């Protein structure tokens, strides 16, 4: 594997420790000023992939390691063993190389150098694990705080399905700029989904895919593409895209011919919206502002509010989230979402529509928010989304959509989302 492999592995180890010991998210750790700063693009990608795979299968790795350890190893050693176990049994790395690399990693760490022999012995045993035994390991469970909430909301069978979806990871979904999913799927040898996204089973490097440079598509989970489709802007219609960055939905609205004003509080994230617009040749007005303080020049007929949330619907893409967040870290978001809904409704013209969405699996960030908003605002009503691709079991009792990672299991799943459409009567 050479120098490159060693660099990527030790970076993956730092990422694992950052998530598991310091409870930081992968997004924070891989930021430009973060842990991977000195690595080249190949090593960065490999380090992230390895760390993500290890987090996705952590419990399974621990179960395989347990019989080979007399006592629980200290965290630094445990992470080396977990990383190599997942590399060998899940990623299919050659055992000899992965074991040697783990021994080298142990030797280079102050707290682990005395245990390099143990690493060697344990991993040689791990490498003998029959593939069927690894495959038969149940998927990683969600942490208790989240599992309990999802169990009460959606039931045990759903939780089992969601955990299986998390273990399977996520395919790469693209949104075609011209809306022609069949043509793009044909070009890529991919699948056109009924909702208009294009799904690639074996993604590879995104920037090397045909059409990237010309901005013919952008990466966006199939479920994440639905709120803008439900808002369905008319040609030339003025649309407010609130909480817009990094801009997946802005691009959809602009590509549909709307006159979009995209608002986001983060200047750094807004810079990504600008980059995405430039690559795709689309236009939107960009406003960097806190939407709770900002007022549009005139009330709008169409508003999309993609509020900040726990992102618990995206765990299959971000397996670090259950380790980095907990109930206390996400609770303050609930009140903020309610404030944002009220603020967005204050910008809505009579007869106008607001699509509210979150990439969350928690009713507190979806069903509960909209039920409470309808009670607070007598002039507002729910309008059930209508589209030929909406499956009956996606609909909630209040006429919204509840999407879960265990839906479309035969197609490769979807991110979890809640999507509701509200209208101002009159
Ligand atoms: C779920 S993300 C939006 C994703 C985006 N709509 C897309 O499709 O690419 C939530 C966004 O809300 C922004 N945000 C958080 N608080 C905000 C506020 N008070 N005002 C405006 N934007 C805010 C964050 O910066 C973040 O970019």
Q: Which pLDDT band holds residue 40 (cuts at 50, 70, 90)?
A: confident
3-state SS class at 395: strand
Best residue for ligand 1 mutational test, from 264, 317, 335 (most atoms within 8 Å of Cβ): 264
Q: Whose CA is nearest to atom 2 of ligand 1?
A: 308
Query: What distance in Å separates the CA atoms of residue 260 and residue 276, rounded to the nearest whole number?
Result: 14
Question: Tokens standing for 172?
Answer: 């790469």
DSSP H helical segments within 73-225, as ranges? Answer: 75-89, 95-108, 116-127, 131-135, 144-154, 156-168, 181-188
State which ligand 1 atom lies nearest to the alpha carbon of 246: 9
Q: Which pLDDT band holds residue 201 (cuts at 50, 70, 90)?
A: confident
Going edge to edge, which strands form the sheet with 217-219? 191-192, 198-200, 172-176, 217-219
Distance 31 CA to ligand 1 centre (A): 17
Has residue 67 got a pLDDT over 60? yes
Distance 51 CA to ligand 1 centre (A): 26
Is 359 a known active-site residue?
yes
- The total number of residues shown for the chain amounts to 426
Query: What distance in Å separates the CA atoms of residue 376 and residue 356, rounded to the nearest whole number?
Result: 16
State which ligand 1 atom lies nearest to the alpha carbon of 224: 8
Determine contact, residues 272/260, Cβ cutoff 8 Å: no
State which ligand 1 atom lies nearest to the alpha carbon of 241: 6
Average pLDDT over all residues of the chain: 95
The pLDDT of residue 105: 94
Integer CA distances (angstroms), 323 to 16, 48, 61, 154, 363, in order: 10, 16, 16, 22, 21
Identify the helix (H) or strand (E) that includes residue 419.
strand 417-424
Ligand 1 pocket, residues with Cβ under 6 angstroms: 243-249, 263-266, 269, 290-292, 306, 308
State which ligand 1 atom lies nearest to the alpha carbon of 290: 20
Tell me what percent of the residues of the chain surpass a pLDDT of 70: 98
244 is in an annotated binding site: yes
Query: What distance in Å separates the CA atoms of residue 76 and residue 63, rounded to the nearest whole number?
Result: 18
pLDDT tens, position by position, 204-233: 788 889 999 999 999 999 999 999 999 999
The pLDDT of residue 408: 97
Which of 309, 357, 359, 421 is labelled catalytic? 359
The pLDDT of residue 31: 84
Domains and CATH numbers, the chain: 2-135 (1.10.940.10), 221-424 (3.40.50.150)
258 is in an annotated binding site: no
Of the candidates 418, 416, 417, which has an alpha carbon nearest to the alpha carbon of residue 165?
Answer: 416
243 is in an annotated binding site: yes
Has residue 58 got a pLDDT over 90? yes
Has residue 2 got a pLDDT over 90? no
């Amino acid at each position: 594997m050479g120098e490159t492999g060693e660099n990527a592995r030790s970076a993956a180890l730092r990422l694992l420790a950052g998530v598991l010991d310091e409870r930081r998210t992968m997004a924070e750790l891989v930021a430009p000023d973060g842990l991977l700063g000195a690595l080249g693009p190949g090593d960065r990608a490999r380090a992230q992939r390895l760390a993500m795979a290890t987090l996705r299968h952590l419990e399974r790795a621990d179960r395989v390691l347990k019989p080979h350890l007399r006592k629980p190893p200290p965290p630094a050693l445990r992470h080396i063993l977990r990383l190599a176990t997942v590399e060998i049994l899940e990623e299919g790395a050659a055992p000899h190389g992965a074991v040697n690399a783990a021994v080298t990693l142990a030797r280079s760490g102050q707290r682990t150098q005395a245990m390099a022999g143990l690493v060697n012995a344990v991993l040689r045993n791990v490498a003998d694990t029959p593939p069927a035994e690894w495959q038969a390991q149940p998927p990683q469970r969600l942490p208790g705080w989240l599992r309990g909430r999802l169990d009460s909301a959606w039931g045990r069978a759903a939780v089992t399905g969601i955990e299986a979806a998390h273990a399977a990871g996520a395919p790469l979904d693209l949104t075609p700029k011209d809306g022609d999913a069949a043509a793009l799927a044909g070009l890529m040898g991919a699948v056109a989904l009924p909702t208009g996204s294009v799904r690639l089973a074996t993604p590879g490097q995104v920037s090397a895919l045909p059409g990237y440079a010309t901005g013919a598509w952008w990466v966006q989970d199939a479920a994440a593409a639905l709120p803008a489709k439900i808002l369905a802007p008319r040609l030339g219609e003025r649309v407010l895209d609130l909480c817009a960055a990094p801009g997946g939905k802005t691009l959809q609205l602009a590509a549909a011919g709307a006159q979009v004003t995209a608002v986001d509080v983060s200047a750094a994230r807004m810079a990504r919206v600008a980059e995405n617009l430039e690559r795709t040749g689309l236009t939107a007005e960009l406003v960097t502002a806190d939407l709770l303080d900002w007022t549009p020049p005139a009330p709008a007929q169409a508003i999309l509010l993609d509020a900040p949330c726990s992102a618990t619907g995206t765990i299959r893409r971000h397996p670090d989230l259950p380790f980095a967040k907990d109930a206390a870290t996400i609770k303050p978001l609930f009140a903020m979402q309610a404030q944002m809904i009220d603020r967005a409704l204050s910008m809505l013209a009579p007869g106008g529509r607001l699509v509210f969405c979150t990439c969350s699996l928690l009713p507190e960030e979806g069903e509960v928010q909209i039920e409470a908003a309808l009670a607070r605002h007598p002039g507002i009503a729910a309008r059930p989304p209508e589209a030929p691709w909406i499956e009956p079991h996606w609909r909630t009792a209040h006429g919204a959509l509840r999407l879960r990672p265990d839906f479309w299991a035969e197609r490769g799943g979807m991110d979890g989302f809640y999507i509701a459409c509200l209208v101002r009567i009159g």
